[in-house]
Amino acid sequence: MGVPGGGSRVATAAAACLLLLQLCGCVAALPMKSAAGGGDRYKDPSQPLNTRIDDLLRRMTLAEKIGQMSQIERENATAGVINKYFIGSVLSGGGSVPAKNAPPEAWAKMVNGMQGGALSTRLGIPMLYGIDAVHGHGNVYKATIFPHNVGLGCTRDPELAKRIGAAVALEVRATGIPYVFAPCVAVCRDPRWGRCYESFSEHPELVQSMTSIISGFQGEIPAGGRQGAPFVAGQRSVAACSKHYVGDGGTTKGINENNTVATFHELLSVHMPPYYNAVIRGVSTVMISYSSWNGVKMHSNHFLISDFLKKELRFRGFVISDWQGLDRITTPDHADYLLSIKLGILAGIDMIMIPYTYTEFIDDLTLLVQNGTIPMSRIDDAVRRILRVKFTMGLFENPYADPSLAGELGKQEHRDLAREAVRKSLVLLKNGKPGDKPLLPLPKKARGSILVAGSHADDLGSQCGGWTITWQGLTGNNLTAGTTILDGIKRAVVPGTDVVYSENPDAGFIQQNKARFDYAIVVVGEPPYAEQFGDNLNLTIPAPGPAIIQNVCGSIKCVVVLVSGRPLVVEPYMNAIDALVAAWLPGTEGQGVADVLFGDYGFAGKLSRTWFRSVEQLPMNVGDAHYDPLFPFGFGLETQPSKY
pLDDT in tens, 534-543: 999 999 999 9
Residue 26: pLDDT above 90? Answer: no
Residue 531 bears catalytic tag: yes
ω before 641 within 30° of 0 (cis)? no
Q: Do 249 and 293 lie in a common domain?
A: yes
**DSSP bridge partners of 500:** 451
What digits encode the pLDDT tens for the residues 315-371?
999 999 999 999 999 999 999 999 999 999 999 999 999 999 999 999 999 999 999
Q: Do 403 and 432 lie in a common domain?
A: no
Q: Do 443 and 323 lie in a common domain?
A: no
Maximum Cα interatomic distance, the chain, rounded to a whole number of Å: 95
Identify whether 358 is part of a domain: yes
Residue 14: pLDDT above 80? Answer: no
Q: Residue 527 to residues 357, 465, 498, 506: CA-CA distances in angstroms?
A: 33, 7, 28, 21
Q: Do 404 and 430 lie in a common domain?
A: no
Residue 25: pLDDT above 60? Answer: no
Nearest to 448 by CA among 500, 515, 516: 516
Element (H, E) at 579: strand 579-584
Residue where one domain finishes, among candidates 379, 408, 437: 408
pLDDT of residue 480: 97
Residue 113: pLDDT above 70? Answer: yes
Identify whether 11 is part of a domain: no
Identify whether 514 is part of a domain: yes
What digits encode the pLDDT tens for the residues 538-591?
999 999 999 999 999 999 999 999 999 999 999 999 999 999 999 999 999 999
Paired sense of beta strands 579-584 and 558-563, if any:
parallel
Q: Do 232 and 278 lie in a common domain?
A: yes
Distant-in-sequence, close-in-space partners of 552: CB < 8 Å, separation ≥ 6: 451, 453, 505, 510, 520, 522, 558
Nearest to 82 by CA among 358, 341, 324, 349: 358
Q: Are 585 and 151 in contact (CB under 8 A)?
A: yes
Q: Are 150 and 186 in contact (CB under 8 A)?
A: no
Q: Do 397 and 487 lie in a common domain?
A: no
Residue 36: pLDDT above 70? Answer: no
The C-alpha atoms of residue 13 and residue 332 are separated, in whole angstroms, by 58
Percent of the chain that is helix, strand, coil (3-state, to 5): 40, 15, 45
pLDDT of residue 32: 39
How confident is the model over 47-53, as a mean pLDDT? Answer: 98
Q: Do 93 and 180 lie in a common domain?
A: yes
Q: What is the DSSP letter of 569?
A: B
pLDDT of residue 31: 36
Residue 28: pLDDT above 50? Answer: no
Q: Do 292 and 356 lie in a common domain?
A: yes
Q: State which residues form the domain around 141.
A: 42-408
The C-alpha atoms of residue 151 and residue 398 are separated, in whole angstroms, by 35
pLDDT of residue 228: 86
The C-alpha atoms of residue 154 and residue 50 are separated, in whole angstroms, by 42
How confident is the model over 439-451, as a mean pLDDT? Answer: 97
How confident is the model over 504-514, as a mean pLDDT? Answer: 96
Paired sense of beta strands 449-453 and 517-525, if any:
parallel
Q: Residue 201 to residues 79, 209, 633: CA-CA distances in angstroms?
A: 42, 10, 9
Identify whether 640 is part of a domain: no
In the chain, % of residues over pLDDT 70 = 94
How confident is the model over 447-464, as a mean pLDDT? Answer: 98
The C-alpha atoms of residue 323 and residue 288 are separated, in whole angstroms, by 10
pLDDT of residue 5: 36
Provide the sign of the torsion angle of the four alpha carbons 454, 458, 459, 463, taken in this order.
positive
Which pairs with CB-CB distance under 8 Å and at least 24 residues apart come from 304-311? 304/245, 304/246, 305/245, 305/347, 305/348, 305/349, 306/347, 306/348, 309/245, 309/275, 309/348, 310/348
Nearest to 250 by CA among 261, 240, 242: 261
Q: What is the CATH number of the domain that holds 577?
A: 3.40.50.1700
Burial class (CB in 10 A: 0-12, 13-18, 19+), 321: buried
Radius of gyration from C-alpha coordinates of the chain: 26
Tell me the residue ranges of DSSP E strands in 481-539.
498-502, 517-525
Burial class (CB in 10 A: 0-12, 13-18, 19+), 522: buried
Distant-in-sequence, close-in-space partners of 635: CB < 8 Å, separation ≥ 6: 427, 429, 606, 607, 611
Residue 38: pLDDT above 60? Answer: no
Confidence band for 644, pLDDT divided at 50, 70 and 90: low
Q: Are 593 and 583 in contact (CB under 8 A)?
A: yes
Residue where one domain finishes, among candidates 355, 374, 408: 408
Q: Do 439 and 341 lie in a common domain?
A: no
Identify whether 30 is part of a domain: no
Q: How many CA atoms within 13 Å lie on the side-chain side of 422? A: 31
Selected residue with higher pLDDT from 224 and 500:
500
pLDDT of residue 510: 97
Identify whether 8 is part of a domain: no
Q: What total of structural domains would you count in the chain?
A: 2
What digits encode the pLDDT tens for the residues 414-428?
999 999 999 999 999
Residue 30: pLDDT above 90? Answer: no
What digits encode the pLDDT tens for the residues 251-300?
999 999 999 999 999 999 999 999 999 999 999 999 999 999 999 999 99
Q: Do 397 and 444 lie in a common domain?
A: no
Residue where one domain finishes, among candidates 376, 408, 440: 408
Which residue is catalytic, options 322, 408, 459, 535? Answer: 322
pLDDT of residue 129: 99
Q: Residue 154 to residues 50, 53, 187, 195, 604: CA-CA distances in angstroms?
A: 42, 42, 14, 17, 9
Q: What is the DSSP letter of 312?
A: I
In the chain, % of residues over pLDDT 90 = 93
Q: Do 462 and 395 lie in a common domain?
A: no
pLDDT of residue 227: 86
pLDDT of residue 39: 78
Q: Do 356 and 453 lie in a common domain?
A: no
Which residue is catalytic, options 198, 531, 535, 589? Answer: 531
Provide the sign of the torsion angle of the four alpha carbons 332, 337, 341, 347, taken in this order.
negative
How confident is the model over 102-129, as a mean pLDDT? Answer: 98
Identify whether 15 is part of a domain: no
Identify whether 264 is part of a domain: yes
Residue 12: pLDDT above 80? Answer: no
The pTM assigned to this predicted structure is 0.94
Q: What is the CATH number of the domain that holds 168?
A: 3.20.20.300
ω before 246 within 30° of 0 (cis)? yes
Distance of CA 26 to the CA centre of its chain: 43
What digits encode the pLDDT tens for the residues 214-236?
999 999 999 988 888 999 999 99
Residue 322 bears catalytic tag: yes
Paired sense of beta strands 241-245 and 285-288, if any:
parallel
Residue 82: pLDDT above 50? Answer: yes
